[in-house]
Amino acid sequence: MIALELKEIPYDRIRAVEWENGRLKLIDQRVLPGKFEHLYFDHLPESARAITDMVVRGAPAIGVTAAYAVVLAARDRYAANPNNWRDAIQADLTLLAEARPTAVNLRWAVEKMRGLISAGISDDPVARLLEAAQRIHAEDIAANHRMGQLGANLIEPGSGVLTHCNTGALATGGYGTALGVVRAGYAAKRIKDVYADETRPWLQGARLTAWELVQEGIPATLIADSAAPHLMKLGKVAWVIVGADRIAANGDTANKIGTYMTAVAARYHGVKFMVVAPTSTVDLATHDGSAIPIETRAEAEVLNFGGTRTSPEGFRAWNPAFDITPATLIDAIVTEKGVVLNPTREKMVAMMSS
Confidence of residue 103 (pLDDT cuts 50, 70, 90): confident
245 is an active site residue: yes
Q: What is the pLDDT of residues 9-25, one digit of tens each?
A: 889 999 999 999 999 99
| CATH number belonging to domain 148-353 | 3.40.50.10470
Mean pLDDT, to the nearest integer, of 324-346?
A: 98
- Residue 109 CA to residue 103 CA, distance in Å, equals 11
> Catalytic: which of 92, 140, 197, 245?
245
User: For the stretch 193-202, what's the b/e string if a residue is b when 16 or more beta carbons lie within 10 angstroms of its beta carbon?
Assistant: bbbbbbbbbb
Q: What is the pLDDT of residues 28-43, one digit of tens each?
A: 999 999 999 999 999 9
pLDDT score recorded for residue 8: 73
Look at residue 4 and tell me whether its pLDDT is greater than 70: no
Kind plus residue range of the DSSP H or E element containing 52: helix 44-52
State the architecture of 17-144 in CATH terms. Up-down Bundle (1.20)
User: For the stretch 297-322, what's the b/e string if a residue is b when 16 or more beta carbons lie within 10 angstroms of its beta carbon?
Assistant: beeeebbeeeeeeeeeeeeeeeeebb
- Residue 86 CA to residue 125 CA, distance in Å, equals 10
- Residue 275 CA to residue 20 CA, distance in Å, equals 32
Give me the residue spans of the domains in the chain: 17-144, 148-353
Report the predicted TM-score, pTM, of the whole model to 2 decimal places: 0.93
